[in-house]
Structure 1
Amino acid sequence: MSTTGTGFSNHAFTMPGGLQVNEQTSKNNTPCNFQMPLHYPRYQKSDYESMPEWKLDCLMKQYGLPLIGDVNQKRKFAMGAFLWPSQYE
């Protein structure tokens, strides 16, 4: 990484559903905009499929994830982010 400029680098990760999550890191490689909450969500696929949009928004905000798209896109994103592949199918 270059020592000139702001000292930050952006890395984009594509999540299921085609949405991108940006991870911004400082010079010492510490995350700047993502905090892992103490507990990993323990919802099942059926929970995400029936979860109201406000609850999805709260969950995504808690994990520092984007609140982009309609409720169906948010559901797909949450399932891709929080379910293991065997649970998602």
Structure 2
Amino acid sequence: MTAAAGGCQDSSYKQNGMQSKSNGNHGGNGNYVCFEMPLHYPRYKKEDYEAMPEWQLDCLLKQYGLPVMGDIADKRNFAMGAFLWPSEINNK
């Protein structure tokens, strides 16, 4: 993952083409809404999250629609809790 002009860039992140019509409860103007989802679950280890720079944690959390709040320790703990199995977090 690399930073590009103040934003996140990841080749595994792309629009999957799913669309749904507005049902009237969300604006009701008949516009289509595109759902975007990263194609792969992150494959980082605990050590990777511990060494990951803050900008990369921000990008990762944003890609999965997760909150990007708190200091870097909060973000690391949140990312590890979201993406690692409990046995991986407590290992070491």
Q: Normalised by the size of structure 2, how large is the TM-score?
A: 0.59
Corresponding position of 1:73: 74
1:37, CA displacement in angstroms?
A: 1.5
Change (3 A) 1:85 1:36: farther
Contact 1:45-1:79 within 8 A present in 2 as well: yes
Alignment of 1:7-86 (within 5 A): 35-86=36-87
CA deviation map 1:64-83 (0-9, x unaligned):
01110000000000000000
Q: How many residues align?
A: 60
Contact 1:35–1:63 (8 Å) recurs in 2? no
Is residue 41–residue 82 contact of structure 1 (8 Å, CA) maintained in 2?
A: yes
Distance in 2 separating the partners of 1:50 and 1:71: 11
Letter in 2 for 1:69: G
**CA RMSD, aligned part only?**
1.9
State, as a whole percentage, how many aligned pairs show the same letter.
68
- The structure, 1 or 2, with the larger RCO (C-alpha pairs under 8 Å, 6+ apart) is 1
Q: Return 5+ residue gaps in structure 1 as ranges.
A: 1-5, 9-31
> In the alignment, is the contact (CA less than 8 A) between 1:49 and 1:75 conserved in 2?
yes
Structure 1 runs (4+) greater than 4 angstroms displaced? none
Please state whether the residue corresponding to 2:60 is helix, strand or coil: helix
2:80 alignment partner AA:
M
What TM-score do the two structures reach when normalised by structure 1? 0.60
Which structure carries more strand by proportion? 2
Residues 7-32 of structure 1 show CA distances to partners (whole Å, capped at 9, x for unaligned) of: 58xxxxxxxxxxxxxxxxxxxxxxx9
